[in-house]
Amino acid sequence: MIGTRIEGLVDAMTLEEQVSLLSGRDFWSLPAIERLGIGSLRVTDGPNGARGGGSLIGGVRSAAFPVGIALGATWDPDLVSEIGAALADEAKAKGAHVLLAPTVNLHRTQTNGRNFECYSEDPVLSAELAVGYIEGLQGQGIAATVKHFVGNESEIQRTTISSEIHERTLRELYLVPFEAAVKRAGAWAVMTSYNRLGGTYTSEHPWLLTEVLRGDWGFDGVVMSDWFGSHSTAPTMLAGLDLEMPGPARDRGHRLVAAVEAGEVAAKVVRERALNVLRLMARTGALDDHRPREERAEDRPEHRALIRRAGAEGMVLLASDGTLPLREPASVAVIGPNAKVAQIMGGGSAQLNAHYRVSPWDGLAAALGKERLTHAHGCDNAKFQPVLPGPLRMEIFANRALSGEPVAVEEMPEAQGFWFGTLNGGASASDFSARITGRFTAPRSGTWTVGLRAAGLARVRIDGREVAEAWESWTRGTTFFEEGNDEVLGEAVLEADRTYEIEILFATRPSESLGFSALAVGLGLPSGDAEIDEAVEAARRAEVAVVCVGRDASWDTEGADLPGIALPGRQAELIEAVAAANPRTVVVLQTGGPVEMPWLPRVAAVLQAWYPGQEAGNAIADVLLGRAEPGGRLPQTFPARMEDGATFSQDREVYPGLDGRVRYEEGVFIGYRHHDRVGTPPLFPFGHGLSYTTFAMADLAVAEDGGEVRVAVTATNTGARAGSEVVQIYVTPAPAPVPRPARELKGFAKVRLSPGESRRVEIALPARAFARFDAERREWVMEAGTYGIEVGRSAADLPLSGEWMARTARRWAP
């Protein structure tokens, strides 16, 4: 029925109308074709919420769900499917038909700024969670957009760098989640990455988009570019890119019409691309949706409960001497830079304006009462200075010279903005200037630090004196998706309770790759020894110290990789000092990936909480107090040192890249595969996570059944309270002519058991679980021979082992 209707519609269109569907009308939507009764397709950013059509800053409020790595740590596709269904509700509330999610790139390095947004270092775990997410989302009529296809495992020079990846590595690792999303979950859309693959932009890569995606996998949905990630007319059309985003058209529109008329692009190719877009519109109901976009802030109780439950399910108890769970402590010192600040999400296009934010302090205060708690900040951990609070007055000029009368005047809640499209008063976000003024009353005396970041030109004055400048000296850095300068720092001596006049001048400049302008001005008073001393004293007086440390969205963010995996600032020093004062010190980590832990032997427990969404503090309190189990298992290996990672190399082309190339020299040996290969034990292995109860696994059975290998094991809760365990199955290879990992995750199941309860867990492994990819022959190969089956609770804790014999070799096409 859909096919007949859209075939009729596409053939009733003029060439210009077909072309109009192949690029955005604006940042978030496609044009309607009123003559044929065709509505407008609308999209919104994900994956940990649905922001809507507003800016990355502010806008209509939305529910903030746990980030990708936190969902990866749940090892629970059913839970992730629930979240997908809830996100469909969120997308509908924002008037959207398409959610730009999930992100399924792998954790190649420990320092990728966007690891927080991705599920795992392992392709099988990522694939299973992606399938759950997509089925939940698309089951409610909202399209998933699987991203970023492919080779976007770093944020360094991501819009231009070429990822050099061998086809075997692609097929066995990086393509696996995308393949499952298409073949098993039936994803309706795929987004290309910014980077090049083997020298060719993925948005114009025929092998990737046509041969693999549509040919090998049978994809029939829409392939869209990442925002501003399309760079040509004919090459993208011929390669298989359906949709250039955002709009208005840059390389499509009249240029595409001219390319057809010149014979560079056949009319049938335009028809095929338009047909794909119409199919997506039919699947999502956009074909007949003529309503104006309405965005609602729906704070649903059921979503609150789901976010809180999912947050606890993803938290990983890394280490504990029995201090956790806390049993009605009389006094708790809540310490650290993340104690009273709710770190709920990473940075970049995944960020949104949450309905609310619950900090660890808030969660513990609600659970125990404030009278049992004391607080100490301890030290700072932010990458940038705290954003200057408003209200501020912004005068907008429709030129870059701050000349004439302002075309609009508006209030800013704080000194940061992110602008695209058309501003109030009709000024273009790519060609305007602004004068921003306000007042600041210093709460304390001291030498304050002024921080200035801009995707544009800017300067800051306090009482008429210039204190920071990025105008004449502006140089491109890593902020604002590599469109802004690195933060410029200045100083201002301020007196307590005195009010100062603030003036910020801003003007746009030509963008490097992405079409927007942005500004952030911060003002902070750095902490020092006195704050650490205060934390030590608070810990000494308390029964237990909970130290809330980690990173924030300025570190874990799209657009920039991390400089390393040490805790920023003086946080390690803070932990050491607090632990020396109180042996019952519990460290709550909030990061988007691993950190070095030289202080580990001196603390009582470590809980990795990730960025668990708007209910962060409540979920953290639930786990600390034993009201919920720490249900998570590591989706990424935690090395003891950054130098132990797979991509740490003296060859900069391996990482972070050199001369426009990043070479995936390690091949299939990332994460736990790398540690097994080189024999370096990790700090915490892939799959690791402790529980508040104990489990046993026994009675392993391996049997062949109809072309599958069935692995069965009995899991038993041997402890005194209910809990969950993840049964993990790894396959060791038969002899092969190429190096293969010592073991690879090929199946898993999360089981919840009452005290004393046992359950038989059975997992079927297809032939693909035993195969490698032969790039020369372009086919999958399963050698004849004996394969090992290892079962346990992490890549380094596999107490059960068996084997399966493949009596004959097999080969098959991708």
Q: How far apart are CA 349 and CA 158, in angstroms?
A: 15
pLDDT at 316 (0 to 100)? 98
pLDDT tens string 244-284? 999 999 999 999 999 999 999 999 999 999 999 999 999 99
Q: CA separation (Å) from 798 to 149, 654, 762?
A: 33, 32, 17
Q: In which band, very low, low, confident or very high, does the pLDDT at 291 lie, cut at 50, 70 and 90?
A: confident
Q: How far apart are CA 424 and CA 408, in angstroms?
A: 6
Q: How far apart are CA 497 and CA 390, in angstroms?
A: 16
pLDDT tens string 474-497? 999 999 998 999 999 999 999 999
Residue 86 and residue 64 in contact, taking contact as beta carbons nearer than 8 Å: no
What is the average per-residue pLDDT within 385-395?
Answer: 95
Q: Is the dihedral of CA 769, 774, 780, 784 positive or negative?
A: negative
What is the average per-residue pLDDT within 351-355?
Answer: 95
Q: In which band, very low, low, confident or very high, does the pLDDT at 58 lie, cut at 50, 70 and 90?
A: confident
Phi, psi of 353 (to 5 degrees): -95, 95
pLDDT at 377 (0 to 100)? 97
pLDDT tens string 656-700? 999 999 999 999 999 999 999 999 999 999 999 999 999 999 999
pLDDT of residue 108 exceeding 90: yes
Q: How far apart are CA 161 and CA 169, in angstroms?
A: 18
Q: Is 226 a catalytic residue?
A: yes
Q: In which band, very low, low, confident or very high, does the pLDDT at 555 lie, cut at 50, 70 and 90?
A: very high
Residue recorded with tokens 């202080």: 599
Q: How far apart are CA 434 and CA 455, in angstroms?
A: 13
From the list 45, 76, 122, 226, the catalytic residue is 226
Q: Which two tokens stand for residue 550?
A: 């980690």
pLDDT at 2 (0 to 100)? 85
Contacts of 405 (CB under 8 A, 6+ apart): none
CB atoms within 10 A of CB 807: 7
pLDDT tens string 423-455? 999 999 999 999 999 999 999 999 999 999 999
pLDDT at 514 (0 to 100)? 85
Coil vs helix vs strand at 291: coil
pLDDT at 209 (0 to 100)? 98
pLDDT of residue 715 exceeding 80: yes
Average pLDDT of the residues of the chain? 97
Q: How far apart are CA 74 and CA 84, in angstroms?
A: 14
pLDDT at 293 (0 to 100)? 85
Q: Which domains does the chain have, with CATH numbers?
A: 303-380+530-677 (3.40.50.1700), 389-524 (2.60.120.260), 695-812 (2.60.40.10)
Closest CA to 530 of 483, 477, 577, 470: 577
Q: CA separation (Å) from 809 to 737, 765, 812?
A: 13, 17, 10
pLDDT tens string 597-634? 999 999 999 999 999 999 999 999 999 999 999 999 99
What is the average per-residue pLDDT within 773-800?
Answer: 97
pLDDT of residue 513 exceeding 90: no
First to last CA, the chain: 30
Q: H helices within 67-141, ranges in order? A: 68-72, 77-93, 123-138
Residue 133 and residue 84 in contact, taking contact as beta carbons nearer than 8 Å: yes
Phi, psi of 462 (to 5 degrees): -120, 120
pLDDT of residue 1 exceeding 80: no
Closest CA to 511 of 483, 486, 539: 483
pLDDT at 292 (0 to 100)? 86
Residue 480 and residue 429 in contact, taking contact as beta carbons nearer than 8 Å: no
Q: How far apart are CA 252 and CA 20, in angstroms?
A: 8
Q: How many degrees, rounded to 5, is the angle at CA 479 between CA 524 and CA 28?
A: 115
Percent of all residues in the chain with a pLDDT value above 70, rounded to a whole number: 100
Reply yes or no: is the peptide bond before residue 360 cis, omega within 30 of 0: no
Coil vs helix vs strand at 112: coil
Q: Say which amino acid occupies 39.
A: G
pLDDT at 421 (0 to 100)? 87
Q: How far apart are CA 709 and CA 679, in angstroms?
A: 29
Q: Say which amino acid occupies 243.
A: L
